[in-house]
Amino acid sequence: MPHETALLGVTHSSRIRFSPAQILYNSREKVSKYKEIFDFYDRTSLKSYNLDKSMQYQLNILGSLDVFTRQHSENVASIVCRLCQYLHCTKSFTEYCTICAYLHDIGKQFIPARILQKQTELTDEEYEIMKTHTTIGYNICMEDLKLRPYAAGPIYHHEALNGTGYPNALVKKDIPYEGQIIRVADEYDAIVSKRQYKSHIGIIDTLNILIDECNPIKNPENYKIPVKDTKVGKNNPIIVKALIKVVIDDSEYEISCIMDYLKDLKPDIKRLEEIEKYDKKRINSKSESKKNYYLTGMKYLLIGQETVDNYEEILNSYRRIVKEKKEHIDKLFSEIKTMKKLKI
C-alpha cells in the first residue's frame, strides 16, 4: 500500500524514534553538555571528579554519610563559579573560590548522624554542635597540605558582614571575598532545596530572604545575637545582585531546554494524531474494505511498542506532557519578570 503515507501527510522515514522518556533524557544530556562549558571559565572543568584525590576523598566520605550534603556541596560550587563570572573575578580566583566551595561543608563528616540526618528542626543544643562543622572543616584542611590553601571555604562561609555569623563573629573587613561569595551561594541552595523536615520555599521567596539580609537589622539591641556593625546586613548586596542574574540565567536556559524538548515531541504527536484521524475514519466507515484500508494505514505508522489499542493512551500522555511543560514555561516567565524587578 504505497500511497497511504502520502494520504496521511506523513513521511515514514528510517530515523530513530524516541519515547517521551528518551526525549526527556536526551534533553537532560544537552543540559549536562552545556553546563560543562557554562559552569566554568573554560573547558578545563572543575567538576568534582576532576578535583585532587584528597578533595575527592573528603567529598566521598561526606557523600557516604549524607547524600544531601554531598549534593549541596556540588550545587554550591556550581553557583559560586558562576557568581564569580558575574562578579568579573579572575580565572585563578574563580577556580580557587570554586574549590573552596566544594570543601565548605567537609567538617560535617564528623557531625553525629543523628544531627546531620535529623528529620525535624534542630534543638539549640544540636545547632551548637552543627555549627562546629566550620572549625572541624578548617582543621581538616590545615592538616592536609593539598587542602590547606582552601581552608577559607569551611571557616568563613557562615560569617556575616554585621558580625552575627559564626564561628568567629567576624565583620565585613575581616571576611575575605571568597567567604562572602560562598555564604550567599550556600544560603540560597540550603533554603531553596527541599528537605523532609521543612516545607519547600520558592525561588522568589528565597531571593527575597537574601535581599532582606542585605539590609541592616532593625532594632539590633533586641536581636538574639550581638550585632557588631549595625550599618550593614549579613549579606553583600553586590553578590546577591549577581545571584539574581545567575538564577534568571538558569530559568531562561530551562525554558530553552523545555522548548527543545517540546520541539522533539512534535513529530511523534503529529504522527499519532494522523493515526487518530485514520482511526476515526475507520470507525465511521461502513465498508469492510475501507475499514481495512484505514487499519493498514494506522499499523504502518505505528512504531516501537505502539499498537492500535494503546496509541490513544500514548498520544494523551504526550498531550498532558505538552500542557504541563507549557504551564511550567509560563511559571518560569512569570518568575523571571518578578526577579528582574527585585531591588536591593
Identify whether residues 58 and 170 lie together within a single domain.
yes
pLDDT digits 0-9 by tens, 6-42: 333 333 333 333 344 444 444 444 444 444 433 433 3
Structural domain boundaries enclosing 329: 1-38+248-344
Q: Indicate the number of domains in the chain.
A: 2
Contacts of 103 (CB under 8 A, 6+ apart): 55, 58, 59, 73, 137, 141, 147, 150, 153, 154
* Cβ(247)–Cβ(207) below 8 Å: yes
Q: What is the pLDDT of residue 42?
A: 38
Identify whether residues 29 and 49 lie together within a single domain.
no
Identify whether residues 84 and 208 lie together within a single domain.
yes
Averages of pLDDT over runs of 10 residues in the chain (344 residues) are 33 36 44 41 48 82 88 92 93 92 95 90 95 97 94 98 98 97 97 67 94 96 95 98 95 92 95 97 95 96 95 97 96 96 94
Q: What is the pLDDT of residue 169?
A: 97
The CA distance from 146 to 157, in Å, is 20
Identify whether residues 312 and 281 lie together within a single domain.
yes
* Cβ(95)–Cβ(121) below 8 Å: no
Identify whether residues 217 and 272 lie together within a single domain.
no
Identify whether residues 120 and 228 lie together within a single domain.
yes
Q: What is the pLDDT of residue 206?
A: 95
Q: What cell was used for 297?
A: 494505514
The CA distance from 65 to 62, in Å, is 5
Identify whether residues 108 and 196 lie together within a single domain.
yes
Identify whether residues 164 and 192 lie together within a single domain.
yes
Identify whether residues 279 and 212 lie together within a single domain.
no
Identify whether residues 21 and 62 lie together within a single domain.
no
DSSP 8-state class, residue 309: T
Identify whether residues 60 and 144 lie together within a single domain.
yes
CATH number of the domain bearing residue 74: 1.10.3210.10
The CA distance from 48 to 188, in Å, is 20
Identify whether residues 200 and 172 lie together within a single domain.
yes
The CA distance from 152 to 127, in Å, is 21
Q: What is the pLDDT of residue 2?
A: 34
pLDDT digits 0-9 by tens, 124-166: 999 999 999 999 999 999 999 999 999 999 999 999 999 999 9
In Å, what is the CA distance from 241 to each residue of 95, 187, 211, 335, 344?
21, 14, 9, 16, 7
Residue 186 forms part of a structural domain: yes
The CA distance from 36 to 46, in Å, is 9
